[in-house]
């Protein structure tokens, strides 16, 4: 029996007259995610139908679809004719594997073709009866069934399935503007990127790299994290900024307790330039209030002052264990905890200033050739495209 993938979406449905725009983005992103699997994609009635050239690719396709924002559920469905006798005969066969292991089940029917001669409760009764006949060990449990058999009678076919995996929700990437993620090698920034992309924002990343104080392997780790995030964003550019000289200059000329905060302000200023050059209109960081000395409210204020673009901090109110949970969920955690140094972990002051004053920090910055340092760093940017 022919099998396809049914994809359902959530919040897009609420978009009224703009809904087709959102649907088109979703289809475009699905197509990109299924690259190489030759999908035929059609949409109707808040559902996207995906017919792959090769049914053996369905599990791989479902795995990839579980990272496409905008999708709320994904099911592997059997395509049956719109005739109740045929539906009753084929359903137990199609769902053999699932139903022979279960003890309880129920049938739910949806009849979007109102011309179909049976109403939904009648479809449930007929199909339920056919299943009980074939699997006498099964009993019906309408409240907490182990398996729910869905029968959807739609325009041209009936679709039957009993397994549904959750999609990531959110809005299709590209339905909102582009932002630039400050991506470190840590746990927080990949999660911040994921959370921003989830709302439909396209992303590019910037990484500050302090060679030789941070190694090639640290860079590879960041690129591995970028790849994990890019599975949700449909590819991503990563701009690698040489940062060593700036750090050395700060260390040479500025008070030790201000090193981190001045470095953070440089990062923001450079990120803003990279953003503007690449059409991004906001910055995203993985900062969380109070997590480290540079993330006190005072320090965040001084950091924020360095730029005029809006800065999104989606994990601002999350505890570390909540961020870790999300990091595991998106598949980044194991990579994030690989033990390579980050540019923030070198040159850290012993007693960082947790309540920096903007005027004092600005006065220290006067001791540096800020503009020249920024321009030199920008001239050395290396851009890597993750497909």
Asked whether position 183 contacts ligand ATP by CB under 6 A, the answer is yes
Which CB, 170 or 286, lies closer to Mg ion?
286
Beta-carbon count within 10 A of 359 CB: 9
Query: CB under 6 A: which stretch of 50-58, 135-143, 204-212, 249-257 binds ligand ATP?
Result: 204-212
Q: Do the Cβ atoms of 278 and 266 come closer than 8 Å?
A: no
Q: Which is nearer to ligand ATP, 135 or 312 (CB)?
A: 312
Does residue 304 belong to the site contacting ligand ATP (CB under 6 A)?
no
**Site size for ligand ATP, by CB under 6 A?**
20
Burial degree of 316 (CB within 10 A; 0-12, 13-18, 19+) = middle
What span, in angstroms and rounded, lies between the C-alpha atoms of 378 and 22?
35
d(CA 326, CA 286): 13
User: Length of the chain in residues, anyone?
Assistant: 387
The H or E element spanning position 47 is strand 47-52
Smaller CB separation from ligand ATP, 62 or 274: 274
Rg from Cα positions in the chain: 26
Here the tokens at position 277 are 């050059």
Please identify the residue of the shown chain whose CB is closest to the bound ligand ATP: 186
Q: Whose Cβ is closer to ligand ATP: residue 154's or residue 207's?
A: 207
Query: Least CB distance from residue 234 to ligand ATP, whole Å?
Result: 21
Chain residues binding Mg ion by CB under 5 A are 184, 186, 342, 344
State the nearest-atom distance from the C-beta of 386 to ligand ATP, in Å: 16
| Cα 157 to Cα 49, 90, 97, distances in angstroms | 11, 13, 23
Among 207, 237, 265, 273, binds ligand ATP (CB under 6 A): 207
Q: Which among ligand ATP, Mg ion, none contacts residue 158 (Cβ within 5 to 8 A by kind)?
A: none
Span of 73-81, 87-95, 160-168, 201-209 interacting with ligand ATP by CB under 6 A: 201-209
**8 Å CB contact between 347 and 259:** yes
**Residue in this structure with the two tokens 């595991």, named with its chain if needed:** 328
For residues 379 and 387, give the distance between their C-alpha atoms in angstroms, rounded to a whole number. 24
Q: How far apart are CA 340 and CA 222, in angstroms?
A: 10
- Residue 318 site contact among Mg ion, ligand ATP, none (CB < 5 to 8 Å, cut-off depends on kind): none
Q: Per DSSP, what are the bridge partners of residue 372?
A: none
User: Can you tell me which residue has the tokens 């002051």?
Assistant: 349
Binding of residue 186 to ligand ATP (CB under 6 A): yes
Report the nearest approach of Mg ion to the CB of residue 187 (Å). Answer: 8
- Residue 182 makes contact with ligand ATP by CB under 6 A: yes
Burial class (CB within 10 angstroms; exposed 0-12, middle 13-18, buried 19+) of 127:
buried
Site residues (CB under 6 A) for ligand ATP, limited to 269-298: 285-287, 291-292, 294
| 176 is a contact residue toward ligand ATP (CB under 6 A) | no
Residue closer to ligand ATP, measured from CB, 272 or 287: 287
Between 249 and 342, name the residue whose CB sits nearer to ligand ATP: 342
Ramachandran angles phi, psi of 111, nearest 5°: -120, 90
Query: x/- binding map, residues 323-362, to ligand ATP, per CB under 6 A?
Result: -------------------xxx------------------
Distance from C-alpha of 310 to C-alpha of 100, rounded to nearest angstrom: 55
- Which of ligand ATP, Mg ion, none does 128 bind, CB closer than 5 to 8 A by kind? none
From the list ligand ATP, Mg ion, none, partner contacted by residue 157 (C-beta under 5 to 8 A by kind): none
Residues in contact with ligand ATP by CB under 6 A are 182-184, 186-189, 206-208, 267, 285-287, 291-292, 294, 342-344
């Amino acid at each position: 029996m022919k099998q396809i993938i049914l994809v359902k979406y959530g919040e897009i449905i609420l978009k009224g007259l703009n809904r087709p725009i959102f649907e088109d983005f979703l289809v475009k992103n699905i197509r990109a995610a299924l690259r190489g699997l030759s999908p035929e994609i059609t949409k109707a009635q808040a559902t996207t139908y995906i017919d792959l050239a090769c049914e053996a690719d369905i599990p791989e396709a479902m795995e990839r679809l579980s990272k496409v924002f905008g999708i709320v559920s994904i099911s592997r469905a059997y395509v049956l004719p719109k005739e109740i006798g045929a539906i009753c005969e084929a359903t137990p066969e199609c769902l053999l594997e699932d139903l022979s292991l279960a003890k309880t089940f129920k049938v739910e029917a949806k009849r979007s073709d109102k011309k179909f001669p049976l109403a939904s409760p009648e479809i449930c009764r007929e199909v339920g009866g056919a299943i009980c006949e074939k699997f006498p060990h099964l009993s019906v449990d309408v409240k907490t069934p182990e398996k729910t058999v869905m029968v959807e009678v739609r325009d041209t076919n009936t679709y039957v399935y009993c397994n549904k995996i959750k999609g990531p929700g959110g809005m299709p990437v590209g339905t909102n503007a582009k932002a630039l993620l400050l991506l470190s090698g840590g746990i927080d920034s990949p999660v911040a990127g994921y959370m921003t992309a989830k709302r439909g924002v396209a992303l590019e990343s910037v990484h500050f790299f302090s060679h030789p104080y941070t190694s090639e392997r640290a860079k590879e780790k960041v690129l591995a994290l970028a790849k994990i995030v890019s599975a949700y964003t449909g590819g991503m550019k990563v701009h690698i900024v040489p940062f060593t000289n700036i750090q050395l200059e700060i260390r040479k000329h500025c008070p030790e307790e201000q090193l981190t905060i001045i470095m953070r302000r440089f990062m923001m200023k450079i990120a803003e330039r990279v953003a503007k050059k690449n059409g991004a209109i906001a910055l995203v960081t993985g900062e969380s209030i109070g997590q480290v000395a540079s993330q006190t409210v005072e320090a965040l204020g001084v950091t924020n002052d360095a730029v005029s673009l809006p800065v999104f901090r989606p994990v601002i109110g999350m505890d570390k264990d909540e961020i870790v949970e999300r990091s595991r969920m998106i598949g980044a955690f194991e990579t994030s905890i690989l033990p390579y140094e980050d540019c923030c972990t070198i040159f850290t002051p012993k007693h960082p200033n947790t309540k920096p004053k903007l005027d004092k920090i600005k006065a220290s910055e006067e001791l540096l050739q800020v503009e020249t340092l920024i321009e030199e760093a920008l001239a050395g940017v290396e851009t890597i495209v993750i497909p």
